[in-house]
């Protein structure tokens, strides 16, 4: 079984995944996007879906 795993890992068809997302700026250059997250309090967790989405834009 290890022989099969090694062959799969060494396959030339596999490439590492790069999770960097870019956005094209007005100057024509690519800029990386930044994403983050926050923890919600118990009260904030009970917000309506629309309010949560607006809160996410903040």
Contact by Cβ (8 Å): 34, 19: no
Q: What is the pLDDT of residue 58?
A: 66
Name residues whose C-beta falls within 8 Å of residue 52's C-beta, 6 or more positions apart in sequence.
44
Phi/psi class of residue 28: alpha, beta or left (left: φ > 0; alpha: ψ in -120 to 50)? Answer: left
Which domain range does residue 36 map to?
Answer: 22-55
pLDDT tens for the 58 residues of the chain, in order? 999 888 888 888 877 777 778 888 999 999 988 777 788 899 988 999 998 888 777 6
Query: Whole-model pTM above 0.85?
Result: no
Number of domains the chain is built from: 1
DSSP string, the chain: -HHHHHHHHT-TT--------EEE-TTS-EEE------PPPHHHHTS-HHHHHHHHH-
Is 6 part of a structural domain of the chain?
no
Is 51 part of a structural domain of the chain?
yes
Q: What is the pLDDT of residue 56?
A: 75
């Amino acid at each position: 079984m290890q022989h099969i795993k090694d062959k799969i890992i060494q396959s030339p068809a596999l490439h590492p995944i790069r999770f960097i997302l870019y956005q094209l700026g007005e100057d024509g250059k690519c800029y990386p996007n930044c994403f983050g997250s926050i923890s919600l309090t118990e009260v904030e967790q009970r917000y309506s879906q629309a309010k949560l989405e607006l809160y996410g834009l903040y």
